[in-house]
Amino acid sequence: MEVVQQKKGHPKGLYLLFFTEMWERFSYYGMRAILMYYLTKTYLQGGLGINSAEASIIYGNFTGLVYFTPLIGGWLADKYLGQRLAVTIGGITMMFGQFALFLMNNMTGLYIGLFLLIIGNGFFKPNISILVGNLYKDGDERRDSAFSIFYMGINLGALIAPIVIGVLTDDIFAAKDNNGEIISYGYRYGFLASSIGMLLGQVVFNLLAPKYLGDLGTKPVGAVSDTEVAKVQKSINPETGKELDEKEEKDKISVIFILFLFAVFFWAGFEQAGSSIALYTDNYIDRDVTLPFIGDWTIPSSWFQSVNPFFVVTLAPLFAMFWSSPLGRKISTPIKMGMGMVILGIGFWFMLGAVSERGGDIKDTAVKASLFWLVMTYFIHTVGELCISPVGLSVVTKLSPPKLASVLMAVWMLSSSVANFLGGFIAAYVEKMGAGQIFTYISGFVIVCGVLLILLNKPISKMMHGVK
CATH of the domain at 354: 1.20.1250.20
Kindly state the average pLDDT of the residues 72-93. 90
Whether 4 is covered by a domain: the verdict is no
Closest alpha carbon to 151 in 272, 270, 17: 17
Whether 428 is covered by a domain: the verdict is yes
Residue 5 in this model has a pLDDT that exceeds 80:
no
Diameter of the chain measured on Cα atoms: 74
pLDDT at 187: 92
pLDDT at 277: 84
Residue 433 in this model has a pLDDT that exceeds 90:
no
- Cα-only R_g, the chain: 22
Closest alpha carbon to 146 in 18, 7, 235: 18
Whether 2 is covered by a domain: the verdict is no
Whether 227 is covered by a domain: the verdict is no
To the question of pTM greater than 0.85 for the whole model, the response is no
Whether 282 is covered by a domain: the verdict is yes
Whether 399 is covered by a domain: the verdict is yes
Q: Regarding predicted confidence, which is higher, 126 or 245?
A: 126
Q: Where does the pLDDT of residue 230 fall: very low under 50, low under 70, confident under 90, or very high at 90 and above?
A: very low
Distance from CA of residue 352 to its chain's centroid? Answer: 24
- The tens digit of pLDDT for each residue in 400-413 reads 887 777 778 778 87
DSSP letters along 64-98, please? HHHTTTHHHHHHHIIIII-HHHHHHHHHHHHHHHH
Instruction: Supply the range of the domain harboring residue 266.
Output: 12-218+244-463
Residue 80 in this model has a pLDDT that exceeds 90:
no
Q: Contact at 8 Å (CB) between 440 and 356?
A: no
Kindly state the average pLDDT of the residues 97-117. 94
Residue 388 in this model has a pLDDT that exceeds 80:
yes
pLDDT at 364: 83
Positive or negative torsion for Cα 250, 255, 261, 264: negative
Residue 165 in this model has a pLDDT that exceeds 80:
yes
Whether 359 is covered by a domain: the verdict is yes
- The tens digit of pLDDT for each residue in 341-378 reads 999 999 999 999 999 999 988 888 888 999 999 999 99
Residue 380 is which amino acid? Answer: I
Looking at every residue in the chain, the average pLDDT score rounds to 84
- The tens digit of pLDDT for each residue in 169-221 reads 988 988 888 877 888 989 999 999 999 999 999 999 999 999 999 888 888 86
Residue 293 in this model has a pLDDT that exceeds 80:
no
Closest alpha carbon to 68 in 144, 119, 31, 135: 119
pLDDT at 459: 93
pLDDT at 284: 87
**Count of the separate structural domains present in the chain:** 1
